[in-house]
Structure 1
């Protein structure tokens, strides 16, 4: 069966009014999302500097309020804007691994993630109240909390005794063809990788030693590839490279510009919500107990891999849901991905701790029947399988809606079927195809997708947001909902300001040196965006001072700056964040929850 037909045009926030105040950097990404969900939004001036407020009123809404600030766990002086948040949370360190030193992302990644988390918190609080429980009506988050969430896998891996599977060192894609075309390569298995490079005449030793670094780039945010592979690419025409990819089973994608994105169809909402046609209202789920988290009593089945769907389910679990992972016979192979804490991958724990696991062979009739039995008692089924796989197995939204008409069926996809001829829907290919590689780098750096998994992580956040919207819509209609989010939607969310600049005929990229930290005698210092020019003028003096001294000198002059985290092993003991982290029973590091409810 295909996707269920739509019922009406009802959206989950059609009867809710929002009054929003605060800096545009913290409010703008959320406003469009609230409106797309049906809310009426009124912006008002004022508010606390460095913080935003979202106040919801309307039938069933009560008085739900969200507060979003740059600093919620960090001191205010160390999280004054996007640049300082990136510096103090380790984001600059992770993004800069490819370059051999900390680099700031030229997009407002922390603020964008915080805005999505704000909408999630609002939806969750509204859902809790709609379910009739005594759920807290105020939720707070921060750009610093969002940033720590985005680096949680890297921080967890850095803070266990076991070493990485491959050494971290500068380097990585994209590659450059003889004509100058810069491109990303994707190969999920070693055989297509080897066939591709052999077709181009690369030395055997280079393709053999290059595979581990390439394979683990998702985990390490760097890929120190043999220079022979880059030389091989530079000697080949773009036509020959594409032919080699087509013949080998690998995929290549030329880096697209933001101007090219402007020329393509305008993006819509980052998700779709489709109520089941013909479904009769069913009994509501039990109300959460007083004081409980908003998703308490709800069950989420997750059949996810890598980052996108597992992170979405992880966030739903942090909101109180009981999350059950559907794993293949023998369990998720990524449980053993090094480095490990007490025998379990620290990265895997960062996304999957607290979840229950059920093994099911969905390729067998018995396994699919067992999954349907679980679906019958669940509230959400979430997956990020390859396009068409669910329908091929008889596990599409229409099929499972017949088992459970109140089910929220959530598909976190790569492209949502919106870009015909698009390459494989993985993080770096999406970055290449959507202009992210241009947006994340200032004008004096060649375009290159970040090796930090920006889009997988943001895609997971957008996926959780879509599920919460679907649950709230279900609560108000009594009918199940099919929701779909995508990495494409995440990329469009992140690049929206740059695409708007390009559409207006302005340079979409940030100026040379944007968010580039300044070296000090013992590390690096990051000035706030508004203080960068004056701080750069003092670079010679700053170089002779320790980071602590340099920050003090700049602050005495009324400038904002903070020291850059350059070693994630020092993150838990950093005075700015001390007490923010905990550890699980395996000894793996836990970053603070993205929200506080009160």
Structure 2
């Protein structure tokens, strides 16, 4: 077995030290994840909670034999945190009309987006909706405890359901589907990974069209194919598909892996062979998905006015982020009541103009940034750096996702900003968190490739392939917000500023935990053939609960009749949302001031 890349993180003071958690009620989505994260944050299990099961070997939230008897559960798992300041309870449930991971993915558009590369809905073989539900539940608990620590005891219960969590994970795709103009790139099957002459599956990454062209020229690809391939490749982060010219795949298949790596080195592009789940299990270092590093004792944290309608009312978050991971983290903090101020370059964030648009503003940009304030700062100039330090001096949180080392070069690292504001929670959402030496570029698809996600998300009868849905950017944003909330709570309890680090690598490890643990035990980490694959009907698709086969052929029935037939046999099933526009007409999705679709807030507080 390979030596872990780094040792597991050393346990330090946790924001939940002195608190106990207990679970009650039926099983719910993400409840084991909630328990594990509460442990990591310092809480201890109550009576009867010392032995918790490992992630389910089936990968479903129910055992297969229970599926036919399953029914929707309105009240799910209850995890209660108790301590000297009282109790706060999180309730996780599946949500209206869904009963497990398979039906949650079907009903919220996850199957539709993940399946774009394949030309039809496909289920993720990992528990994506349940994982998001668990992380959001921890966020809700931390937010409620944070409000309580500031003297606001109104928040004693937070509810999160997998249906709402699933909608949040596809919010950018929903926003684009409801925009006034069409997509900037074609929605059609196709995309990486590529295959070398020896059969090595690999991902390619570059943000530079020049590097893209140089790479493909170095392997002898056709110039017209190179030109036509850049746009779908560039927009795959937005569209979840990349219908590349066949000539590019053919050029890759004709080139040995050694030569492909040389072409990447010469061009400035990067390639990464798809790793296995077993390989990731062998090198896994046991580190949590985030780290909290308390700073030296500071002056008492500023007292904020209470009485806001949400737990983070009165907090100010300063964000210098681009793309998805960092903006989503602060978007969630804003939904919890914080004031969020974005640092944008002179002229504004260029992603505001990314098509498709609503009222002249990118629908995808709005999905992550609506409601935020914006300040234009040239952080490359000394004056801009001084301006950012001034803004950070009065903020509670500063969060960024700059390239590794950039903050230090600009004089905007933790040590620089905390000098002016010792109580600052300084948050960095990165790709690798410096945990894997020699790792490739820290973007979503490269992290998926390097960590075995491409294998874990697909059943055994499909070749490994990272999802073109931005799984890790979204989950990384959720974990980044969770880490910031933990840092704020630790600051409230200690009076010290905190450095918070989260990463896409941490998101990958959270998402693949069940598969990785199976691999570590010598078991097959992949789901069986056909796992969570929707069933074709005469007019659409349906997803049975449990995600397993052995069900009647329903291709001759309408979707509605097929659902009725399966339910008559005590197999819950739901129609698969194959076109996101159907969700926009269902009533759950609202519209913002620009007319862009807006998913509902995932928490309910009481």
Q: TM-score range by the shorter chain?
A: over 0.9
Match 2:289 to one of 270, 286, 306: 270
The aligned counterpart of 2:329 is: 312
Aligned to 2:301: 283
- Alignment of 1:469 with 2:486, yes or no, is yes
Q: Who is 1:92 aligned against?
A: 111
Q: Give the aligned partner of residue 564 of structure 1.
A: 576
Task: Kindly provide the CA deviation profile for residues 14-71 of structure 1, in whole angstroms up to 9, marking residues without a partner as x.
Answer: 11111113427531122211101000124669x96871111111022x1211111011
CA contact (8 A) 2:28 2:76 kept: no
* Corresponding position of 2:559: 547
Q: Deviations over 1:190-240 (max 9, x none)?
A: 010001001111010000000000000000000000000000000000000
Shift of 1:282: 1.8
Q: Give 1:151's match in structure 2, choosing from 159, 170, 189.
A: 170
Distance 1:549 1:285 in 2: 59
For residues 189 and 469 of structure 1, do their structure 2 counterparts lie closer, same or farther at Cα, with a shift above 3 Å needed? same
User: What is the CA–CA distance in structure 2 between the aligned matches of 1:392 and 1:251, rounded to whole Å?
Assistant: 24
Deviation of 1:288 (Å)? 2.2
Counterpart residue number, 1:56: 81
Secondary structure of 2:496's counterpart equals coil
Q: CA deviation at 1:573?
A: 2.0
Name the counterpart of 1:335: 352
Q: Which runs of 5+ in 1 are unaligned?
A: 1-5
- Report the equivalent of 1:70: 94
Tell me the distance in 1 between the aligned counterparts of 2:261 and 2:461. Answer: 28
Distance 1:386 1:408, change over 3 A: same
**Alignment pair present for 1:15 and 2:18:** yes
Q: CA deviation at 1:487?
A: 0.3
Deviations 1:73-121 (CA, angstroms, capped at 9, x unpaired)? xx2xx31000000001111000000000000000000000100001000
DSSP-derived class of the 1:529 partner: coil
TM-score (norm 2): 0.93
Residue number in structure 2 paired with 1:482:
499
- The answer on 1:435 being equivalent to 2:452 is yes
1:64 alignment partner, SS class: strand
SS in 1 for 2:167: helix
C-alpha distance 558-8 of structure 1, shift in aligned 2 (>3 A): closer
Q: Does 1:211 align with 2:214?
A: no
- Please give the alpha-carbon distance, in whole angstroms, between the structure 2 residues aligned to 1:26 and 1:555: 25
Could you say which residue in structure 1 is the equivalent of 2:217? 198
Q: Once the 2 structures are TM-superposed, how far is the Cα of residue 130 of structure 1 from its aligned partner? A: 0.4
For residue 533 of structure 1, what is the aligned residue in structure 2? 549
- Does structure 2 conserve the Cα–Cα contact (< 8 Å) formed by 1:131 and 1:287? no
Matched with 2:58 is none
CA contact (8 A) 1:284 1:478 kept: no
Compute the displacement of 1:585 (Å): 1.1
- Please give the residue correspondences for 1:222-261 in structure 2 after superposition, counting only pairs within 5 Å: 222-261=241-280
Q: C-alpha deviations, 1:360-404, integer Å up to 9, x for none?
A: 000001001111111111000000000000000010001111010
Which residue of structure 2 lines up, in the alignment, with residue 593 of structure 1? 601
1:325-370 CA-to-partner distances (Å, cap 9, x unmatched) read 0000000000000000000000000000000000000000100111
Give, in whole Å, the separation in 2 of the partners of 1:262 and 1:8. Answer: 22
The answer to whether the 8 A contact 1:134-1:288 is kept is no
Deviates more, 1:549-558 or 1:386-395: 549-558
Q: Is the 8 A contact 1:23 1:50 kept in 2?
A: no
> Which of these residues, 517, 522, 527, is aligned with residue 510 of structure 1?
527
Instruction: Give distance in 1, aligned partners of 2:41 and 2:451.
Output: 24
Structure 2 counterpart of 1:101, from 120, 129, 141: 120
Give yes or no for contact 2:28–2:93 (8 Å, CA) kept in 1: no
In structure 1, what is the Cα distance between the partners aligned to 2:302 and 2:345?
31
Q: Per-residue CA shift, 1:536-557, capped at 9, x if unaligned?
A: xx11xx1111111111111111
Q: Is the 8 A contact 1:7 1:274 kept in 2?
A: no
SS at match of 1:63: strand
The CA deviation string for residues 543-597 of structure 1, in whole angstroms up to 9 with x for no partner, is: 11111111111111111100000111111223xxx3x221011100010101011
CA contact (8 A) 1:187 1:251 kept: yes
1:117 matched to 2:136? yes
**In 2, Cα distance between equivalents of 1:400 and 1:288:** 26
Match in the other structure for 2:32: 28
CA contact (8 A) 1:26 1:51 kept: no
1: CA distance, partners of 2:337 / 2:457: 34
Aligned length: 575
1:371-386 equivalences under 5 Å are 371-386=388-403
SS at the partner of 1:533? coil
Q: Distance in 2 between matches of 1:489 and 1:159?
A: 32
| Structure 2: distance between partners of 1:7 and 1:246 | 37
**Distance (whole Å) between structure 2 residues aligned to residue 342 and residue 236 of structure 1:** 46
Distance (Å, rounded) in 1 between the aligned partners of 2:15 and 2:152: 18
Taking the aligned partners of 1:203 and 1:375, their CA distance within structure 2 comes to 50
Deviation for aligned residue 1:134 = 4.1
Distance 2:276 2:382 in 1: 46
Contact residue 73 and residue 93 of structure 2 kept, 8 A: no
Q: CA RMSD in A?
A: 1.6
- Contact 1:94/1:452 (<8 A) preserved: yes
Superposition pairs of residues 143-182 of structure 1, within 5 angstroms = 143-182=162-201
Give the 3-state SS of the residue equivalent to 1:208 in structure 2.
helix
Structure 2 counterpart of 1:3: none
The superposition leaves residues 411-451 of structure 1 with CA deviations (integer Å, 9 ceiling, x where unpaired) of 00100000000000000000000000000000000000000
Alpha-carbon separation, structure 2, partners of 1:153 and 1:428: 17
